[in-house]
A = this chain, B = another copy of it.
Amino acid sequence: MSDTPFPRLSPGVLADDGDALTFCSTCAFSQACLSQGMDKSSLQDLHMLVEHVGPLHAGEHVFRVGDPFEAIAAVRAGTVKTYVIDRDGREHVLGFHFPGEVIGLDAIDGDTYPCNAVALDTVMLCRFSFPKISVLATRLPGLQQHLFRLLSRSIGRAALLAGDFSADERMAAFLVGMSERLAARGFSPNRFALTMPRTDIANYLRLAPETVSRVLKRFQDDGLLQVDRRELELVDRARLETLAAPVLRH
C-alpha cells in the first residue's frame, strides 16, 4: 500500500465553469439539478435558499430524533452517520452519507426528524429549507423531478441491505457500494478510508464487530483487499463484486 494520503474532503470535481456557480462549486445537489434540465437562472433561485453549514466536527450532531423538521441537507464533505436508539437502548445504524448525498429525506413525512444524524469526521453541509424548496419545485419541474428521484432512490437503497444475506455478501456489498458512491464523486474507487469505526460498520450490517474483523481478515488473506486500520485498498474488485452481486443486483 503506498503512502498517498487518503482523501477526506471533496476534491472539487464539480468545479465551476467560470461563471456564477463558483459560489457553490462543490454542492452536488445543484449540480445534479442542472443535469436534470434546469437552467441556470433556476439554479440561482435554488441557491437563494441554500444555507452552508459547517464545519461540524466528529461527534457533533446535524439533527436529532424529535428535532422539528425544517430542512434537508446535502453532504459537501465528510461522512454523516444516521441512526436511531430503540426502546431497549440498542443503537441501529441506518446509513452512512458521503459527499453529494442528501440526508433528512425520511423526515418529510412528519414534522420531526425520525433519526439522529452525527458527523463522523469534519463535515460540511448545504442546508435546504424544505418548505421553500417545495414551493420552488412547483415552479421548476426539473427540481421536483430531482427530488422525486432522490426519494425513490433512497427507498431502493434501504431495501438492499434488508435482504437475507451472509456476512461475506453483506461486507462485500458494503465495500463495493461505498467504492461506487465515492467514485461517483471523483474519489479513488479502489483506495479509500473507512471513516467509521468497526462497531458502526458491524451495526449497520447487522453483524457483531468481531465478525467484521474476521471477515475483513479473511478477505485480506484471500487476496481480495488490503486493510490497515481504517485504510483500505480493494485488490480483487472482480471477486468482491461477484460476492456482492446478490445484494447489489447489478
State the A residues within 8 Å of B (CB).
84, 86-88, 90, 92, 94, 105-110, 114, 134-135, 137-139, 141, 144-145, 147-156, 158-159, 161-164, 203, 206, 245-247, 249
Contact = CB atoms under 8 A, between A and B. Distances in A.
A70 B114 CA distance: 31
A110, A138, A149 — most chain B CB neighbours (10 Å)? A138
A108 B138 contact: no
A103 to B, nearest CB: 11
A148 B158 CA distance: 17
Contacts of A206: 162-164
B148 A155 contact: no
Given A86-B249, A87-B246, 14 more contacts: A86-B163, A88-B246, A90-B246, A106-B152, A106-B156, A114-B156, A134-B144, A137-B144, A138-B144, A151-B152, A151-B155, A155-B155, A162-B162, A164-B206
A131 B154 CA distance: 20
Nearest 6 CB-CB pairs, A to B? A108-B152, A158-B158, A151-B151, A109-B152, A164-B206, A162-B162
B106 A159 contact: yes
Main secondary structure of the interface of A (DSSP, over half): helix
Given A138-B138, A155-B158, A203-B164, A109 B144 contact: no
Copies of this chain, complex-wide, total 2
Contacts of A108: 148-149, 151-152
Contacts of A114: 156
Contact of A84 (B92, B147, B158, B249): B249
28 contacts: A86-B163, A87-B245, A87-B246, A90-B164, A94-B159, A105-B151, A106-B159, A108-B149, A108-B151, A108-B152, A109-B149, A109-B156, A110-B152, A134-B141, A134-B144, A134-B145, A135-B141, A137-B138, A138-B139, A148-B151, A151-B151, A154-B155, A155-B158, A158-B159, A158-B162, A162-B162, A163-B206, A164-B203
A144, A148, A153: residue with the most chain B Cβ atoms closer than 10 Å: A148
A17 to B, nearest CB: 26
Contacts of A110: 152
